[in-house]
Structure 1
Amino acid sequence: MKSIKVTILGKQYPLKVEDHEEESMIRICKFVDERFKTYRQQLVKQPESTVMVLAALSIAEELFEARNATTELENNEEVLMERVNHSLERLLTEIRE
């Protein structure tokens, strides 16, 4: 495990990550920090906790949309593979006859 420090909305947070996860975690923290800053600029009069919750909800919404899109792609791929397999089976049957 490796100790790193990341900064989100001007506050440092210590994290322990596996060596191979360091770059990925730094990118994730930068993404979160940028999203929080964007919301901070748009919601100047709101408390920081509200800004963070709304930004987190926005990030979660993107995650759920990406998961749904992935599931749809997987389902479409499965349907396509079933059609290909059916066509191949039909072709093999025709060749045997």
Structure 2
Amino acid sequence: MKSIKVTILGKQYPLKVEDSEEEAMRRIAQYVDDKFRQYKKELNKQPDTTVMTLAALSIAEELFEERKRNRELDKQGDEVLQNVNKSLEEFIEEIKS
């Protein structure tokens, strides 16, 4: 494990990550910081906790949408594979005949 520090809204947070995960975690922290800053700019009169909560909800919404898209793609992939298998089975039956 490796100790790193990431900065979100000007505050440093220490994290322990696997060496192989350091760059990904830094990118994630940067994404979160960017999203928080975007919301802070738009909601400049709101307290940080409100800004962070709304930004976190937005990030969670993005995650859920991506998961839904992935499920739909998996379903489409399964359908394509089923069609290919069916076509192969039909082709093999033709060859046998």
Give the TM-score range, shorter chain. over 0.9
Q: How many residues align?
A: 97
Aligned to 1:14: 14
- Alignment pair present for 1:63 and 2:67: no
Letter in 1 for 2:59: I
SS at match of 1:32: helix
Taking the aligned partners of 1:67 and 1:3, their CA distance within structure 2 comes to 30
Letter in 2 for 1:76: Q
Letter in 2 for 1:70: N
- Deviation, 1:24, is 0.6
Aligned to 2:49: 49
SS at match of 2:45: coil
- Deviation, 1:94, is 1.1
SS at match of 1:87: helix
Aligned to 1:84: 84
Aligned to 1:32: 32
Letter in 1 for 2:42: Q
TM-score computed with the length of structure 1 as normaliser: 0.97
- Deviation, 1:69, is 0.4
Taking the aligned partners of 2:21 and 2:92, their CA distance within structure 1 comes to 48
Q: CA RMSD in A?
A: 0.6
Letter in 2 for 1:16: K
Structure 2 unpaired stretches of 5+: none
Structure 1 unpaired stretches of 5+: none
- Alignment pair present for 1:94 and 2:94: yes
Deviation >4 Å, runs of 4+: none
- Deviation, 1:66, is 0.5
Taking the aligned partners of 1:78 and 1:61, their CA distance within structure 2 comes to 26
TM-score computed with the length of structure 2 as normaliser: 0.97
